[in-house]
Every structure is written in structure tokens, then in C-alpha cells.
Amino acid sequence: MRLAIVVAVAVLSLIPVAFIISNSFMSDGEAAARYTSKITPESSFGFIYNNIHYMDMGFVPDVISLSAWRLILAQDPTHLRFLWNSLILAIPIVLGQLIIAPLAAYGLERAKSKHKEKFFFAYIIIMLLPMQALLVPHFIMAEFLGISGNYAAIIFPAIFATFGVFLIRQQMKGFRKEIIEAAAIDGAKELQIFLRIVLPNIKPTLVALAVLTFAEAWNIVDQAVVFIRDPYQMPLSVHLSTGLAGNMGIVFALSTLLMLPALIIFIYGQDDLSEGVIK
């Protein structure tokens, strides 16, 4: 019974990934035949009716073909440009978060001011708001600074996203305070304590934050639609859903391409993902 549930959940989790990856190796013709919506009027015995073609979902291509991959990687490299756009957005966001958030979390945990919890409360509110609500202040500031239309309008607010501060501070609460106090009495500077004692101890949390932030930054849709005007500047996540006009031949290869970096970082960081969030 237990085993059946485990296997069922595992299979369900894997099916979409398997579907997308395996379908990326379909020939152009097969993908089009399987998934393009077609309504063909037919007539028989004097009646005219619409013959709807239902999608023929398959996990194993009839013929394994690299044509879709060849197209997006070699023949029409504009697609790679969108991958590049996504990287240019996601990498600074992840690096920035990894610098800003631990510092702030440590500072808030160590500060003795009564007001710190008010700031932290504000951080929690900001963290919980839906992106569209945050986009209003982001938009106002981007217009004011004249960076609207640039990647900077997306990257800077994302670097200062408050989820990381919340997550790391939550972990630090379980951290042994005596060690820090002892080091402080020994005359260690705050920065030394932070770098030598605290950072090594929250490494799993940093990895978890990196994985979660990357998954989020790699998935940017709303911010790009509001801030980016040039269609060629869009990240791959937006290009995939808007720029293909139902070209089923390459949809799956591009979906796989979009998935791969997120998967690689996830698999690299998976050991720390749960441990880093719950400790």
C-alpha cells in the first residue's frame, strides 16, 4: 500500500518531464500530426460536419529524430538568443540575492533594536504579495529612474526580494547563539563571525535559496511582459509561450531547453533543498 502510493506519486511527478523530453525527439511531421489542432469539414451522405482531430499524446516517438534540436540549436539560432536573455536575467538575480539576503538576515537576527521586528514584518508582507502588486511600486520606481524597458528594472527588485531574508533568518533562529556570543566576547569582529561561523553553517540554506531563486528567475513572465518592450529582449520563458505561433515541431525541444538549466541546478542542489529550508 505504502509502496504503491510512493510509486504513484513518483510516476505522476515524472510524467510531464518525460513527456516533454521524449517529445522533443519527434520529427517535425510527427509532432505536427499529433498535436496541431485541425478541424476539417467533411461531408457524407449530404451532411456537412466538422471532423475534429484529437491530440494523440505519445511518449515514444515513432522515429527518433534530432530535427527539432538541429533547428533550434543550429539552423535558427535566434532561439538561443532568448536562452541567453534568460541567463543574463537570472544569474545577477541569484548572485545578488546570495549576497544581500544572508547579510540582512544576520543583521536582523543580531540587532538588539526593538524596531527590527517591524522591518521584518514589512519584509514578510512584501514577500507574500503577488507579483502584480509588487509590480506597481517597481513600475513607479523604474519610470522615475528611467530604467523601465531595461533588464535592470527586473533584476534590481528581484535582488532585493525579501523571501531570502525570511528563509535565512528562520534558519538562524535554530543556530546556537552561545557560539556567536562567545566569539563576540573573544573580540571577533561581526564580519568575521558572519563569514567564519555563520555562513559555513547555513550553507544548505544558501544552496536552497539559490535553487529556489533560480527556478523563480528562470520562470519570469509577468515582470518581462510589463517591462520589456523589444520582443527580442524577452526571456526564453516568454518567447516559448508567445513567439512560436503553435509551431509544434520545436515547442518540445524549446521546452526541454528551458527546463534543462533549472533541472541541472536543482539536481546539483537537491541534497540541500529540504535540509536548507527545514532545520
Partner 1 sequence: MKILRNGKIWAFVLPSLIGVTLFFFIPAAASLFYAFTDAGGRFIWFANFADIITNPVFQLATRNSLWFIAISVPLNMIISFLLAMLLQNLKHRKIFAVIFMLPLVIPSGSIVFFWNTLFADNGAINGLLLRMGAETVPWFTTNWSFAIIIMVFLFKNIGFNMVLFMAGLSLIPKDYYEAAKIEGAKSFATFRHITFIYIMPTSFLVLMMSIINSFRIFREIYLLYGPYPHQSVYMLQHFMNNQFLFANMQRLSVTAILLSAATIVLVIAVFRGQRKISDTFS
Q: What residues between 234 and 263 interact with partner 1 by CB under 8 A?
A: 236-238, 240-241, 251-252, 255-256, 258-259, 262-263
| Least distance to partner 1, CB of residue 232, Å | 17
Residue 200's identity, in one-letter code, is: P
Q: Which is nearer to partner 1, 42 or 56 (CB)?
A: 56
Tell me if 10 contacts partner 1 by CB under 8 A.
Answer: yes
Tell me if 51 contacts partner 1 by CB under 8 A.
Answer: no
Rounded to an integer, what distance in angstroms lies between the CA atom of residue 180 and that of residue 188? 9
The residues near 36 (Cβ < 8 Å, ≥ 6 apart) are 53, 246, 248
CA angle 118, 124, 126 (to 5 degrees): 105
| Least distance to partner 1, CB of residue 73, Å | 17
| Least distance to partner 1, CB of residue 241, Å | 5
Per CB under 8 A, which of residues 60..89 are in contact with partner 1?
none
Rounded to an integer, what distance in angstroms lies between the CA atom of residue 241 and that of residue 236? 9
Tell me if 33 contacts partner 1 by CB under 8 A.
Answer: no
Site string for partner 1, 156-185 (x = CB under 8 A): xx-xx-xx-xx---x---------------
- Quick count: other Cβ atoms within 10 Å of Cβ 238? 21
Tell me if 218 contacts partner 1 by CB under 8 A.
Answer: yes
Q: Which is nearer to partner 1, 46 or 114 (CB)?
A: 114
Rounded to an integer, what distance in angstroms lies between the CA atom of residue 90 and that of residue 258? 12
Tell me if 95 contacts partner 1 by CB under 8 A.
Answer: no
Q: Which is nearer to partner 1, 67 or 255 (CB)?
A: 255
Q: Which is nearer to partner 1, 64 or 241 (CB)?
A: 241
In three-state form (DSSP H/G/I as H, E/B as E, the rest C), the secondary structure along 95-157 is HHHHHHHHHHHHHHHHCCCCCHHHHHHHHHHHHHCCHHHHHHHHHHHHHHHCCCCCCHHHHHH
Distances from the Cα of 172 to the Cα of 139, 202, 278, angstroms = 33, 8, 11
Q: Which is nearer to partner 1, 41 or 46 (CB)?
A: 41
Residue span binding partner 1 (CB under 8 A) among the ranges 31-39, 64-72, 73-81, 175-183: 31-39
Per CB under 8 A, which of residues 96..135 are in contact with partner 1?
99-101, 103-104, 106-108, 110-113, 116, 119, 121-135
| Least distance to partner 1, CB of residue 74, Å | 21
For residues 98 and 159, is the Cβ–Cβ distance under 8 A? no
> Cell numbers 518531464 correspond to what residue?
17
Pairing mode, strands 39-44 and 47-52: antiparallel
Q: Which is nearer to partner 1, 2 or 46 (CB)?
A: 2
| Least distance to partner 1, CB of residue 38, Å | 8
**Residues composing the chain:** 279
